[in-house]
Structures are given as C-alpha cells and as structure tokens.
Amino acid sequence: MFDMENRRAELLDKIEELILRKQYAQLRSLLLPMEAADIAQLCEELSEEQLPLVFRLLPKELAAEVFVELDSDEQEMLIRGFSNTELKEVLDELYLDDTVDIVEEMPANVVKRILRHSDPDTRKSINEILKYPEDSTGSIMTTEYVDLQKDMTVAAAFKRIRRTGPDKETINICYVIDKNRRLIGLVSIRTLLLADEDAVIEDIMETSIVSVSTLDDQELTARALSKYDFLALPVVDTENRLVGIVTVDDAMDVLQDEVTEDIQLMAAILPSDKPYLKNGIFEIFRARIPWLLLLMISATFTGQIIAKFETALAAFTVLTAYIPMLMDTGGNSGSQASVTVIRGVSLGQIKFSDLPQVVWKETRVSIVCGVVLSAANFVKLMLVDRMLFHNSAVTVPVAATVCATLILTVFCAKLVGCTLPLLAKKIGFDPAVMASPFITTIVDAISLLIYFQFAALLLGI
C-alpha cells in the first residue's frame, strides 16, 4: 500500500503522457481504482490545464471525494472553471461539513456562487455553521445525522435509515430525539442489528450520553472523542436540542492541526496550517520574525549582565569560556521540564491544581540531574581542561564556581520550566509559548547572575 508514495513520480509521468496522447479512457481506468486522497495528491502536481481535464474524467461521486481532498488553491481554480451545472453536481455530492470547510477558504465572489447553487436547505445549514466561532465545535460539526424517535420499532428505524442514510455522514450511530428535537438517547447500528425487529427504540437505546455544546472548544471535543473511543459525538445547543454531530475523521484532523500548532509555538513560530512546501517565503518570514525579534531584544538583558561584569571577566578571562556551556545546559534543562509539562497539559494529564506536585517532582529531579552534571563537569574540568590542555587558569576554585553555578542553574531552570507553562495556562495563554526559546532567554540571564555571584563568593572578583 505504501507503494503509492514511491510510485507518485512514475504515476504522474504516466498521467501526463496519457493526457498528451489524449488516451482518456485509459487515464480513467488508471485513476478509478485509486483512493480519493491519492488522486488528490497527484492532481495537486498537475498544471492548470491538466487538472480540470483529469477531474472531468472521474465519476461524479469520486470526483466530489477528490475535490474535498484538494488544497483550497486547486479547489478555487476548479470552481472558477466549472459551468453552473458542474458546480451544482459537485455540491450535491459533498457532505455538508466539507462544503462549509470549502466555503470558509474561498473568496467572497466564489462563496456567493457556491451558495447560489446549493439547494435552499443546504444553504441555510451552511450559513448557520458559518456563524460559529473559528475554533468552536459548531464550526466542525455536520448536520447530516440519522435521527430516530423513541417509540419507533427497530424495523421502522431500519426503514428510516435505508431511506435517509445515503445522504448522512455516518449511520453507525443514530440519535434519538423527542418532539422538541431534544437529545434523549442514542443507538448504534450494531445494537439495532442485534436487536429484535419488534423491539422499541426506547428500550434498547443508551440514555447516558456524552454530548458537547456548539461553543465548546473543538480541541476538547476531539480529545473527548479520542478518550471515549467514540465514532461520533452529538452536538447540542444550550437547551439540549440536537444540532449536529462531530465524526472521528474530523476529530483526527483537529488533533493533528492542534499538535502542529503546539509544535510551532514551541519553536517560536506563529502557527500556520498551510503545508510548508506550499507556503511562500514571506508567509514563512512573517510567521518567524516576530519571535526572533522579541527574543533578540530580550537577550539584551543577558548582554547587560555581562557588560556589568566586564572588568571582572577581563581579570578572570577563563570564566568566559564556560558561559555557553552554562547557558546551554540551563536552557536544555529548562526546556525538558517545560515541554514535558506543556505536553501533559495538552493531553489533559496535568492541570493547574497539580502545580505543587509538579514543582516538588521537578525539584527532586533537578537536584539529581544537577549533582550528576556537576560531578561530570568537575572531572572534565580537572582532567581535560587542566591536565590534558594544560590550562593552568582552571584552578579548583574556578572549577568549583562553574560546578556550583551548574547545580543552581539546573535547579532554577527546571523550576522556571515547569512553572511558566502552568501559569500561562492559568491566565489564559497557550502554554506552548513557554517552551525552549522563551525559557532559554530567561534561564540565560538567571545562569549569568548565579555565575557572577558564585565567582564573587569563591574567586573574589
């Protein structure tokens, strides 16, 4: 199966050759057995003339599936080339949540054209979903679910599923609602299949339901789906009326995007959901420069500390050589702690109320780490720097200064590293910002202050 990735270049050549020779029937039979996601990947490498040609060869249903998988640039290109009939055909095949995703990415004139060619019910649903805030559960839900009444028999339920099922995103879970559309139960297709034909839905439905609200953060909804191993979650409004469902495939996409966002923030990059290779130079630049500038300016403080001790350093030049090692080790220790806590918070394993427990854990870990690092460093200073490289400036007091700094720096770094993400979370910031780059900048300054204090104490500078 994973051949696909390796065969892409070869397939692309083949497709372009068939287009050139106008052997469309052969091209069609080459594409037909492929998965929509794979065809879309190939389509993205085709030229502006080739893409519509290939697209029109696909049967309606497959074409719609491929369309959903394309990037918004290609989608826009295709829509602009579609006749009204073609546009309507594609729109009719799409699931509602996919249509909404597409509409969200298109410029206003394309959106108008899409809405004009959607049927009135769909148009109304699209407009409603568009109203939900960007990161809300409402914005990723679909309104195409199967609903049942509690007094139906299983046979009647199957009849309804057979009649309405083809247009629904999933039939694996059906939702039971009362006359006011309030959600009162759910029943899986498995339960229905294993039940007696005459059984009444009310007697077989599950009534302890986990549901989410339209305004819940979509990341929380996705995590809940993953935690409970559900295939879909019902979405209700403030009066517990069923308004939609979120399916597991959309939840997976949400989780993947959130992780990418977290990782970008941790590396001091402003989040973007465009794939790297599709992103322009200035988009990448804009995402990276703010933090670089901010952190560069912040590093000024570290410079000020060094400048303040310039004369002392001039007298003990050997101390300068250990500044990078102290700053790096501090930075690394701090980011180990911060990244661990950030991930724990994302996964819902660590909460603000765990702060004392986290601090106590990190305190003990930092002492063990600090002592081991410090001992290793002392041996290295004495054996390598002093004896091997004959650097007579590396005296025992100098080594003691470096090693004492190391222990205290690791301790402070771990403490700062584990505390800041939780504090950020508490005051409503994304904890991921408190990762390596930010922690490093703070720990740099701390480590230098500690260094010069110990130097004053032990070396009398």
Among 47, 83, 109, 277, binds a second copy (CB under 8 A): 277
Contacts to a second copy from residues 372-411, by CB under 8 A: 372-373, 376-377, 380, 384, 391
Site for a second copy in 144-163 (CB under 8 A): 158, 161-162
Residue pair 393/320 in contact (Cβ under 8 Å)? The answer is no
Nearest approach in angstroms of CB 63 to a second copy is 16
Residues 256 and 260: their CA atoms lie apart, in Å, by 6
- Binding flag, residue 37, a second copy (CB under 8 A): yes
User: Would you count residue 299 as binding a second copy (CB under 8 A)?
Assistant: yes
Structure tokens of 375?
């001992």
Is 20 a residue that touches a second copy (CB under 8 A)? no
149 in helix, strand or coil? coil
The string of DSSP letters for 270-331 reads ----S-GGGS-HHHHHHHHHHHHHHHHHHHHHHHHHHHHTHHHHHHTGGGGGGHHHHHHHHH
Minimum distance from residue 166 beta carbon to a second copy (Å): 6
Closer residue to a second copy, CB minimum distance, 103 or 248: 248
357 binds a second copy (CB under 8 A): yes
| Cβ 180 to a second copy shortest distance, Å | 20
Stretch near a second copy under the rule CB under 8 A, chosen from 85-93, 99-107, 117-125, 220-228:
220-228
Q: What is the spatial distance between Cα 363 and Cα 357, in angstroms, rounded to a whole number? A: 10
185 three-class SS:
strand
Give me the least distance between CB of 140 and a second copy, in Å please: 14
Q: Name the segment binding a second copy (CB under 8 A); options: 19-27, 49-57, 82-90, 441-449.
A: 441-449
Residue partners of 218: CB distance under 8 A and separation at least 6:
135, 136, 137, 139, 140, 246, 254
Q: What residues numbered 358-377 form the site for a second copy, per CB under 8 A?
A: 358, 361, 364-365, 368-369, 372-373, 376-377
State yes or no: residue 264 binds a second copy (CB under 8 A). Answer: yes
Q: How many residues line the site for a second copy (CB under 8 A)? A: 125
Residues 205, 186 contacting (CB under 8 angstroms): yes
Mark 230-259 with x for binding to a second copy (rule: CB under 8 A) and - for no binding: -x----------------xx-xxx-xx--x
- Rg value, the chain, Cα: 30
Q: Would you tell me how many other CB atoms lie within 10 Å of the CB of residue 339? A: 20
Beta-carbon contacts of residue 331 (< 8 Å; ≥ 6 apart): 413, 436, 439, 440, 443, 444
Q: Is 216 in the site for a second copy (CB under 8 A)?
A: yes
Contact 234, 209 (CB under 8 A): yes
Q: Of 324 and 428, which CB lies nearer to a second copy in the complex structure?
A: 324
Identity of the residue, 116 or 426, whose beta carbon is nearer to a second copy in the bound complex: 426
